[in-house]
Amino acid sequence: MNLDLFSTTTDDGVIKTQIAEQAWHLADLVHAQDEQIKVLLREIIQQAPLRQMVTPGGQLMSVSMTSCGDFGWVSDQAGYRYQSLDPRSNLPWPNMPALFKTLAKEAAEKVGFENFEPDSCLINCYAIGTRLSLHQDKNEVDFSHPIVSVSLGLPATFLFGGLQRNAPQTRLALQHGDIVVWGGLSRLAYHGVLPLAAGEHGLFGQQRINLTFRKSH
């Protein structure tokens, strides 16, 4: 099924497409900040390296992950959760850079979520061929806050489904610099990412980086 997707242009020239109830795609919002983001990401990854986590069911995830902010999302045999310490080092996660927080807050505001205060930024790194299977983001304490998701590097196909795993899915092409924001009635929608197609991005090379900002607590 394909929802009726419609585009509007906001006052400040951002192309905004609603993908579901209270879910929006914002095209090319990152603009000129991408090089700065890359520098900040390198610093974060030096402190808290990307790693493949294991699902509670014992499967190695293909996407590599790390976090910054007051809390980081982790998965292991004991389950999915947020932790204030990186289990790899037992040190706090790197601070969330002000630039990251501002970007997330501004994106949320553009689609009507005022006062979004993310305390966690999950950094997903996709190599060619890796994917993220259909899931809900439900480890946060309060689902009234939206999620803001920033795509960098190679393009990917995002699957956006409904509140039940078997609901029909919409396919969305996510390009470098795009942001997806969702909350409210779509907050617990199932979603995933298809295997990353081969390619070479000018700034990020043969990978896709996704930053998802959440208020976890």
Closest to 125 in 3D by CA, of 29, 215, 31, 205: 205
Q: 185: which DSSP letter?
A: G
* Tokens 């909350």, located at residue: 183
Length of the chain: 217
Give 84 or 136: the residue with its C-beta nearer to Fe ion.
136
Q: Residue 216 touches which of Fe ion, ligand MD6, none (CB < 5 to 8 A by kind)?
A: none
Q: Which of 138, 151, 210 is nearest to 178 (CA)?
A: 151
Question: Which of residues 179, 180, 190, 204 is near ligand MD6 by CB under 6 A?
Answer: 180
Q: Kindly list the distances between the CA atom of residue 71 and the CA atoms of 16, 93, 122, 187, in Å, as whole numbers in the listed order.
A: 30, 7, 9, 20
161 with 20: CB under 8 angstroms?
no
Report which residue type is found at 109.
E
Please list every residue from 105 through 124 that binds ligand MD6, using CB under 6 A.
124
Measured from the CB atom, the residue of 22 and 212 that comes closer to ligand MD6 is 212
Q: Where are the alpha helices (DSSP H) in 49-153?
A: 98-110
Of residues 56 and 89, the one with the C-beta less far from ligand MD6: 56
210's contact among Fe ion, ligand MD6, none, with CB below 5 to 8 A by partner kind, is ligand MD6
How far apart are CB 147 and ligand MD6 at their closest, in Å?
4
Question: Order of strands, edge to edge, in the sheet holding 191-193?
Answer: 132-135, 191-193, 156-160, 170-174
Partner touching 149 among ligand MD6, Fe ion, none, CB below 5 to 8 Å by kind: ligand MD6
Total of residues contacting Fe ion (CB under 5 A): 1
Under 8 Å CB-to-CB from 150, ≥6 apart: which residues?
29, 30, 103, 104, 107, 178, 179, 210, 211, 212, 213
Q: Interface residues for ligand MD6 in 121-150 (CB under 6 A)?
A: 124, 132, 137, 147, 149
Residue from 86, 119, 137, 178 in contact with Fe ion (CB under 5 A) = 137
- Tell me whether residue 92 or residue 162 sits nearer to ligand MD6 (CB atom): 162
Nearer to Fe ion, 90 or 215 (CB): 215
Please report, as ranges, the residues that interact with ligand MD6 according to CB under 6 A: 124, 132, 137, 147, 149, 158, 180, 182, 191, 193, 210, 212
